[in-house]
Structure 1
């Protein structure tokens, strides 16, 4: 499947999970990227992302989609006990942060939603869009990685 089609499919899946209320932002990103990678982790891994929505447990700090994105990047670049750190982990996490900050001028949840009534459909739509952007950005970067792309392409074909 063509890269752009995969990236857009990932965006729509993540947005759909959040929009339908199946997952919050961080959970939607983790679940979608786990699926993209061909389920290297059991579906229950999404539970680890459940404390991050609404800026880390409703504290309004770091955007849950960005937090979930960093967790999702760990699925590809993280390490186990005794392994050396993969430099791509830090590079990719920082690049994700910078991408969202450049696009939305912040990665802080309360700043990202300050112009919206929290319970409004407009705020949810805004957050759904950010969630899709995070998932799509990660998918694009993983598809550009020659070590990871073959696994993704295999899962999609």
Structure 2
């Protein structure tokens, strides 16, 4: 599978979780990326993302999908107790932030969704698209960095 095919599949997977109501934005991104990486963490890792939808517990602040994306980057570039911070972690998180901000002019949930009535299908569709974009972006970066354990990836 080449990069474009992989990124498309990841986007569709994350969007599907949200669209079907299986997960919200942050959870969909974390679940999708954990699976992509070959499950370095148990499925329970998705629980860590459960408080981030709708801008951190419905507070409307940082977009839940972006939060899930940062957590997903941490699966690869994060550290454990006693380890030094990996040089890539903070720049990768900032790059994700800047990427989403360049598309949506913000990473704040309430700003990104201000044109949609809460609970409307239009808002949900908008958030599904953002979720897919974050998951696809993270997958593309992990692919570029050779971090995806996939014998068929070329």
**TM-score range normalised by the length of the shorter chain:** over 0.9
Structure 1 CA distance, aligned partners of 2:94 and 2:108? 15
| Structure with the higher fraction of residues in helix conformation | 1
Cα RMSD of the aligned pairs, angstroms, is 1.3
Consecutive unaligned residues of structure 2, counting only runs of 5 or more, are none
In 2: Cα distance, 1:67 partner to 1:155 partner: 29
Q: Write the deviation string for residues 35-69 of structure 1: whole angstroms up to 9, x where unpaired.
A: 11010000000000000000000000000000010
2:43 is aligned to 43
Judging changes above 3 Å, is the alpha-carbon distance between structure 1 residues 120 and 78 closer, same or farther for their aligned structure 2 residues? same
**Residues 37 and 155 in structure 1, CA contact (< 8 A), matched pair in contact too:** no
Partner of 1:106 in structure 2? 106
C-alpha contact (below 8 Å) 1:62/1:109 kept by paired residues? yes
TM (norm. structure 1) is: 0.95
Residue 127 of structure 2 is matched in structure 1 by 127
SS at 2:52's partner residue? coil
Instruction: Indicate if the aligned counterparts of 2:3 and 2:153 stay in contact, CA closer than 8 A.
Output: no
> Could you say what secondary structure the match of 1:154 adopts?
coil
1:154 maps to 2:131: no
- Whether the 8 Å contact between 2:2 and 2:153 is mirrored in structure 1 is no
Count of residue pairs the alignment pairs up: 154
If the length of structure 2 is used for normalisation, what is the TM-score? 0.97
SS in 1 for 2:8: helix
Point out where structure 1 has 5 or more consecutive residues left out of the alignment: none
How far apart are the structure 2 equivalents of 1:56 and 1:120?
19
SS in 1 for 2:151: helix
Counterpart of 2:32 in structure 1 is 32
Give the corresponding residue for 2:84.
Answer: 84
